[in-house]
Amino acid sequence: MRKHQWIATLLSLVFTGLGMFYIGTPGMIINAVILMALQGISLYIFFMTLGFLGAIILPFALLVHSVGIIVTLMYFRRRNFIDPNKAQRRERQLSSSWKIGLRTVIGLVIFIVAVYGGYTQGMAPFSKTSAEKKVVREAAESYLENKYNESFTVSEVRYIWAIGSYSLKAHPEQNSDMEFSLDSSNGNPPNISNDRYLNALWSHQLKDNLTPLIDELYPEQAFIYAWVNADNNQVVEKNYNNLDGEKRISVSSQLVKLSVFADLTADNLEAEKEHVSELIQRMPEVMMKGETALEIDYYPAKLNTPGNMKKLKKGTFDQGFNEGKQTHIFRVDDISEITSASSLEIRDLTKN
């Protein structure tokens, strides 16, 4: 079977050195293996250095790839200038169809192994295998179930190489919307810590407490986000309304954030201040005691769409359409500082 120059060139163009395996002389095969190994080493160094040597490694990898193409072309060009009998012997060398096909496949396998090996070994210190993540996931789910006496699903396991630990996200099996974070060590067995389940649970309950009030003051105009921190998260108290200190646990800080769709103007700004003042006066009726920050972000009424509400719910609101469209903002670190409408300020962002 005749070896075609265009096939060899195409193979070398797509995969470093593969056209040299197709040609199949011992020298070509040895050199192809060297080129493939160099590509694997290049990938290894690139990922081991997190790409910081990319300005050197990438041109080197391109050079290695180019060498494979050039050598392949030179083989056919040089063949035209050597003794015809010698050229014929070289042409017949390992030239049967099945031998060409076999060594080409072998060359492809060697290339894949070199590239995959370089990548996996280079990334090994910075990543974890699926099996390793599975161990952490199962340990976290078992920890949460034993601690809270209910079932959980760990939805994300992310290894942070810089600190040698895992960052996880989980939610109760029956409520995928109540997602929270927790951490895990890289030990064996993993040590689970810093779970925020109670914070997420209390925040969800606080949001439920506030919803009737917000619906009354901002009917179908506002989205509520709430977060609750407590002094002692080691005590398992699942009821937000019991965070009064009697069980050695009380609220240390709270954040209530509203996204309100309303067109504020000079004519209705004072009325909105009265609105906010009333909200602040009534919030303690449905909240546990503790320093409470309140933030209200105002957006044009035309943005009050189901799609935007969905973005708010998923936490992608800012990335989705908050690009200069927010018109006003109110922020106070502790609502106890506000005694009347005259003591609060709603800042107009359109004048910035």
Read off the CATH number of the domain in which 139 is found.
3.10.450
SS3 at position 245? coil
Question: Angle, to 10 degrees, between the axis of helix 54-79 and the axis of helix 84-92?
Answer: 120
Q: Are residues 208 and 341 in the same domain?
A: yes
DSSP result, 201-242? HHHHHHHHHHHHHHHHHSTTTEEEEEEEEES-TTS----GGG
Q: Are residues 231 and 310 in the same domain?
A: yes
Q: Are residues 143 and 32 in the same domain?
A: no
Q: What is the pLDDT of residue 319?
A: 45
Asked if 335 and 292 count as a contact pair (C-beta separation under 8 A), the reply is yes
- What does pLDDT average to in each consecutive run of 10 residues of the chain (352 residues)? 82 93 90 94 85 87 94 80 58 71 91 89 76 94 95 94 89 92 92 94 95 94 91 79 77 93 92 94 93 94 84 59 77 92 90 72
Domain boundary among 195, 219, 236: 195
Q: Are residues 238 and 343 in the same domain?
A: yes
- Residue 169, CA atoms < 13 Å, CB-side half-sphere: 7
Q: Are residues 324 and 216 in the same domain?
A: yes
Domains: count for the chain: 3
**How far apart are the C-alpha atoms of 198 and 150, rounded to whole Å?**
13
Q: What is the pLDDT of residue 352?
A: 64
Q: Are residues 212 and 295 in the same domain?
A: yes
**How far apart are the C-alpha atoms of 159 and 143, rounded to whole Å?**
19
**How far apart are the C-alpha atoms of 331 and 304, rounded to whole Å?**
21
Q: What is the pLDDT of residue 11?
A: 93
DSSP result, 83-94? -HHHHHHHHHTT
Residue 139 identity (one-letter amino acid): A
Q: Which of 127, 251, 177 is nearest to 169 (CA)?
A: 177
Q: Are residues 187 and 142 in the same domain?
A: yes
Main-chain dihedrals φ then ψ at residue 67, nearest 5 degrees:
-60, -40
Instruction: Write the DSSP symbol of residue 344.
Output: -
Q: Are residues 115 and 14 in the same domain?
A: yes
Tokens of 141: 């789910």
Distances from the Cα of 180 to the Cα of 137, 164, 203, 226, angstroms: 14, 21, 11, 13
DSSP result, 244-264? BSTTS-BEEEEEEEEEEE---
Domain boundary among 178, 195, 212: 195
Q: What is the pLDDT of residue 228?
A: 94
Q: What is the pLDDT of residue 312?
A: 75
Q: Which of 60, 66, 182, 48 is nearest to 118 (CA)?
A: 48
Tokens of 295: 């933030």
How many Cβ atoms from other residues are within 10 Å of residue 68's Cβ? 26
Tokens of 63: 């050079």
Domain boundary among 99, 126, 153: 126
Instruction: Write the DSSP symbol of residue 4.
Output: P
Alpha-helical (H) ranges within the chain are 5-14, 18-23, 26-48, 54-79, 84-92, 97-123, 130-148, 197-217, 269-282, 306-314, 317-321
Tokens of 349: 């962002």
Question: Angle, to 10 degrees, between the axis of helix 97-123 and the axis of helix 26-48?
Answer: 20
Q: Are residues 187 and 274 in the same domain?
A: no
Q: Are residues 315 and 261 in the same domain?
A: yes
Q: Are residues 187 and 249 in the same domain?
A: no
- Segments forming the whole domain that contains residue 26: 5-126
Q: Are residues 212 and 333 in the same domain?
A: yes
Q: Is 324 left (phi over 0), alpha (psi -120 to 50) or beta?
A: left
